Structure formats: C-alpha cells, structure tokens
Chains A and B, each alone.
Chain A
Amino acid sequence: MNEIFSQGHESKTIRVNMLARVEGEGALHIDIKDGDIKNVQLNIFEPPRFFEAFLAGRHYSEVADIVARICGICPVAYQMSAVHALEKLFEVNIDPQVRKLRRLLYCGEWIESHALHIYMLQGPDFLGLHDALELAKTNPDIVKRGLRLKKIGDEILKTLGGRAVHPVSVRVGGFSKAPSQKALNGLLEALTWAREAAIETLQWTTTLDFPDFELPYTFVALSHQDEYPFNEGEVAVSGTAGQARYAVSDFEQHFKESHVQHSHALHCLYHDQPYLVGPLARLNINVDKLSPNTKKALNDTGLSLPFTNPFKGIVARAVELLECIEEAIAIIETYEVPASPYAEHEVKAGTCMAATEAPRGLLYHHYKVNAEGMIESAKIVPPTSQNQTRMEADMSVLLPSIQHQDESEIAFACEKVIRCYDPCISCATHFLKLDINRSS
C-alpha cells in the first residue's frame, strides 16, 4: 500500500503509508535540499491513550492490570516497573523464591519478544523478504524454529500468569498464586530443546550480511552487581558520553523528556544528547554478567564487543534469547514453592520510582501515592521514546550516502534502520509515513 511519487527534478516526495513489521504506527519525514539532509523527523502518530492521566485516582492495587495495557508485546515490563516502584515505597521484602519467579516471568517475555523480532520482524530484512511467511516457503525449518521458541516464551508466561498477553497474577508484593514445582518442571523439556535452538539462532544471526554502519553511540542500560539486568540495578551509561552510574531515583535529573510537535511520543535525552537503550546497550554494558554457557556461545561466534552497529542488535537479541533460556532452566531447577506467593505490606504516602529492562530497553515509572494508597500522579518513560532521537540521528548519518538512490530504496533503507530498534510505537504512544521532500 506504499505510495511513491515524484514532484519534478528539484523537489521530490516519497510517502510510505505504513511502516511494516513494527509495533504501532508512525511516519518519517525527510527534507533534502541541494543534496543536503536538512531535517529527519520520525513522527509517531499512534493516538494518545492517556494512561498517565487515568492512573490518577486509581488504587495502587489496580496499577499492574492497567499499565499492562500500554503494550501487548511487553506487558510484563510495565507490570514489573510498576510493582517494583510501589514496593520500594511500601518497603516490601520480597521472598527470594518470588524474586526468582519474577525473573522467570521476565525471561518468558524476553524469549517471546526476541523470538518474534529476530524471526518475524527484523530477520526478513536481511534476506530481502517481505515477511517470515515468505521465508517459510523456502526455509520452513528456520521459521518453525522461531515460532517454537516464541511459543516457549508464551508457555512460561502462561504458566506463571495465566496467559501470555496481559498476564493476571502479578501484584504488589509478589504473585496472586505461585506455580507448583511440577508445573514449572513441565517446561524443562521444551527449554532443553530451546537451549540448542537458541544457539542455532545465534549462529544464524552471525551469518547475516551486516551493512557497514558503525556509529559512536551512548549506551544506557540497567546494571546489577551480580546478574544480567531484568528487574533491578543502577542506570549505567557507557560509550561516547563517557562512563557514569546513577541511582534510578536520580533518573529524571539526567534524562529529560521534551514534547516536540511532530510526535505523540515524548523525546528523552541524556544531558541533551540522544542515546540508545535495548539489547545492544544491555549486552555492551553487562556482557560480564552472562552465564558461562552464553559467554561460550558468544565467544564461538568470533564477534567482539562492544557492538556499535545497530544492525547487530539482532545478534544481541539472540545472545539474550539464549541467556533467558539458560536462566529459566537454572531458576526452575532450584525453585521451591514460597511459603506465601506475596508479601503483606502497609500503604504509605510518598513518591516512588523504578526502572526495569523491557525487551526493547529501559522502562522507567514514577508514582505519587497518597496515604489511602490512591495514585495521585504517574509518569512513564518507555524505551521507544528514549530511542526516538537516536533513530533520527542514525538516519541522518545514513541518508547522505544513499540519497541519490531510488526513492523506494531510500524508504526501505530507513525502515530497516528503524526496525533495528524494535520500536514499540504503541508503547511510545503508530502510522509510519515516510515523506521525503527534495528541493534545491
């Protein structure tokens, strides 16, 4: 349904009515004048859904069910950032087995989301295909492997949360119900297969043809002293902006959102500069926290870190896919049913913040709660609004080298860059139109 047209020699317009294989709707606007790139704007037109407004006046116990609905691909991330923030305020002590279950739930979401992105959203770009269904016609085994991996992520979510999309068991203090050992052991056989399938996935991603596109990035991800980050850690910065570590409670001092005219997503900058969140940043910052098996599999690829090519995000996702499977197996093998699935707690008034790692990057929540446990205000900074300025900057670097190409080729090249980031435009607030104006 793409519409491509030209308006004479001096000024040209390309319009792609919908960016494919991303979650949500956005548009891209590019101005080229006398061969110079004047302006690149990623427009996010996903209609605003006002979550932060209608969270006000709700009871804290309702938040996990509401924020899940921001994103059907990463509902667990929203639930986790929310309950962690509220638990900090209420000073809830989480049972170690419940903490394990939360990491397992997050493993399920990462496996599901990463398998979807590797095989169905970004993978086809490297092969010049429209979708995974085309790939299934020539290489059914590859696509079946991807679908089966995704299913295992879904099964973990279902076992812990009742269903894969918008699971129902997460609550402040833990879970409404903890699974039996038997229920979790039931996942082991599939996970053992998945371990090999994830190694094959990683090897497959390294055979893809990566464009020569190395950039000086600032990476931002959570970092925890002894584990690969899901739920907890400090905010770590590395790359061109130098090294830094911040407490999550100081996030808003260093990372500031602004509202620009061309987008329904708020842009977030680190000390006024664009930065990158997601698998690439997480892996570069936390590679030493990977399990021995994942480290070995990464070493076997012969690739060296840090990755500074956004297209290698697919390799980082495959590394994380394997890591989640390793961790899921380790958790299940040592799991004991907790005495209670959730910790009792007392409500306190105050403000609270938490950040956790959604599959596509750091997700920050901030709530103000009154003495009755009612939410007075909420602020949510999703990964895609953090990556938005970085996506625009990447395209500004790419465009001079390809601007003389055919319009449809430019459009495709830009879409490929955007897909590297696995943007969840529904999260950030969707309609990706590509609009290129060329004038002299």
Chain B
Amino acid sequence: MTSQKQRPRLAVFKLASCDGCQLSILSLEEDLLLLDQAVDIAYFPEASSRMEDGPYDITLVEGSISAPEHIEQIKNIRAQSGLLVTIGACATAGGIQALRNGADVADYVATVYAHPEYIQTLKDSTPISEHVKVDFELWGCPIDKEQVRHFLSDLLAGVEPRFPEHSLCMECKRQEHLCVLVAKGEPCLGPVTRTGCGAICPAMGRACYGCFGPAEVSFPAGREHANADALASRFSEALHLSNDEVLRRFKGINSHASAFKETAGKWQKMEENKHE
C-alpha cells in the first residue's frame, strides 16, 4: 500500500449536471477501493460526508457554469487545485442545458416555474474552460468509466494522459458494424463525433447522436475539427432532411461545442431565411 503521506489529494465537485459522470467513478467497482488506496479522496460529497478543505492535487469537475454563483465557485476551485480536470459534456462543453443558449431564458423560466422572480440563472450554460484554465478534458455524456480508469492510472503512474480524438467511424469500422449512414440512410453523427463511447449506437442499430462532442484531427499546421458542415450537407442532399432536421442533429448534447455550434448556426440561418 502506498504510504498515507504521499497520496495525492483528490476532489470531485459538481455544478449544473445530472450526476451521471460522478456515478461513473462510483461504478469503478473494486477499483474504487484501489483508488482509495492510491489517492486521498479528500472531497467527494456524493460518496462521503468527510469533506476536507483544499488544496487538492487532482480536481475533477462535473457540470457546467449555469448559475451566477458558479463563476465565483469555479475560480475558488481553480485556486485550490493542482490539476483541474473536467469530466463530461456539461463541464467540457456546456452540456445539454446549453440548448437554452441563444434562447430567451426569461421565457424558459416562465415555461417551467410559476414564479420566475425566485429563479437565479445565467443566460448561457458554458464550459469550465470559458472561465478558468483547464488541464485535461474528458468528453462524453456520460464519460466512459474505462476512460476515467486509464486517465487516473496514467496520471498516478506519472505518464501524461492522452485521449483519442479521431472520429467514431474508425472504432465503428474496427467493430465491423453495418454503416448506419451509408447502408441504412440514417443521419449518423459518427463521422464527426469524437471516439470514446465504444461505438454503442451503431452496435445497437441506431445513428450516433454526438455524446462525445466533435472529433479533432491533428495536422502538422495544427488541429482542426471534423468537417461537420460537409456532413450536414450530406444529411440535406442525400438523406433529404429538412433544414430544421439537420439543425436539430447538431443541436443536441454538445450544442455549445464550437464545430457543432457553427454548423447548427448556419442551418438555423437558412431555416430563418426560408421563413422571411
């Protein structure tokens, strides 16, 4: 067993989210007991009522910046943290609640609540990286627990963690699933979505809906996002989706991630022009 004194201190915080990514940590089964030996779990309210003050060596944050108090909270968390790691689509890209971005939030509040004046919320739901420096980002809605396992193992072994950023298509082909886009003619987001889930949607016979956010490609000159615009055109031209249908494909779990946001924005504009 690692000596008590040398164990790095781990914290897990939650902002606006569903708890699913934290649950992925609790679902590490017996490895959770090993993790407890390898690190000092100093702050993890979902798992323990022993809540210790920082500083922390590794801080995992689930959830997006969505309420006014989150802005101060994330600055405090950053100040107390050695490494700050976002876990999941909410913390990394604003999450599904970013679907309100660009909409009239006052209208949204009034839809759900009888007394809008009691509700405090920010206009936009935003990723942590728009507010403080983030050291690592784990994508996914939810994160994949194997990815968490690898990430923490690498980190604790002193190896810089790396995540695959290529498109889901590669993983899907390796698993030899029937192509949902080409063979079945369904609007699959696999070609532009980051790998990491295990290609579960094609495995289940349905189109990928982009939980892991936009894929990235590294070129000598730099990194570029997968070409979401080209895929959107294909949905329109070859699959005959309406503008609104194309738009909604990119306006899902990761609607605030730049590649998806830009594509959705273009199709939104086209849809609006149609009505003018």
Contacts and interface: CB of A to CB of B under 8 A. Distances in A.
- Is the A/B pair a real complex? yes
Given A53-B100, A133-B33, A140-B33, A47 B16 contact: yes
A317 B14 CA distance: 26
A245 interface: no
B24 A165 contact: yes
Contacts of B16: 46-47, 49
Contact of A24 (B19, B41, B111, B253): B19
Contact of B49 (A58, A72, A131): A131
Given A47-B70, A120-B47, A69 B141 contact: yes
A150 B50 CA distance: 23
Contacts of A134: 50
A335 B14 CA distance: 40
Interface range, B side: 35 or more
A70 interface: yes
A142 to B, nearest CB: 12
Nearest to B73: A431
B119 to A, nearest CB: 6
A48 B108 CA distance: 10
Nearest to B50: A130
B132 interface: no
Nearest to A261: B118
A144 B30 contact: yes
Contact of A1 (B51, B118, B144): B51
Interface residues of A, number: 73
Contact of B142 (A62, A130, A151, A166): A166
B48 A130 contact: yes
Interface string B110-126: 01111100110100000
Given A62-B248, A70-B18, A1 B142 contact: no
A176 B33 contact: no
B36 interface: yes
Contacts of A53: 100, 103, 107-108, 111-112
Nearest to B201: A168
B23 A162 contact: no
A259 B118 CA distance: 9
Interface of A is mostly: loop
Contact of B52 (A1, A25, A50, A430): A1
Nearest to B54: A1
Interface string A106-146: 00000000001000100010000011111010001001100
B97 A73 contact: no
Interface string A143-179: 1100110110010000001111110110100011100
B142 to A, nearest CB: 4
A22 B107 CA distance: 31
B66 interface: yes
Contacts of A1: 43, 51-53
A363 B211 CA distance: 25
A18 interface: yes
Contacts of B50: 130-131, 134
B48 A21 contact: yes
Contact of A54 (B20, B21, B36, B100): B100
29 contacts: A1-B43, A1-B52, A1-B53, A18-B51, A19-B45, A20-B48, A21-B45, A21-B49, A23-B19, A47-B70, A50-B97, A50-B112, A54-B96, A54-B99, A65-B209, A65-B253, A71-B19, A72-B21, A151-B27, A163-B197, A164-B27, A165-B24, A166-B20, A168-B200, A176-B205, A177-B206, A260-B118, A266-B113, A341-B205
Interface of A: 1-2, 17-25, 45-50, 52-54, 56, 58-59, 62, 65-66, 69-73, 75, 116, 120, 124, 130-134, 136, 140, 143-144, 147-148, 150-151, 154, 161-166, 168-169, 171, 175-177, 258-261, 264, 266, 341, 377, 415, 424, 426, 430
Given A47-B67, A72-B22, A133-B32, 9 more contacts: A21-B45, A53-B111, A54-B108, A66-B96, A150-B26, A154-B27, A163-B142, A164-B27, A169-B206
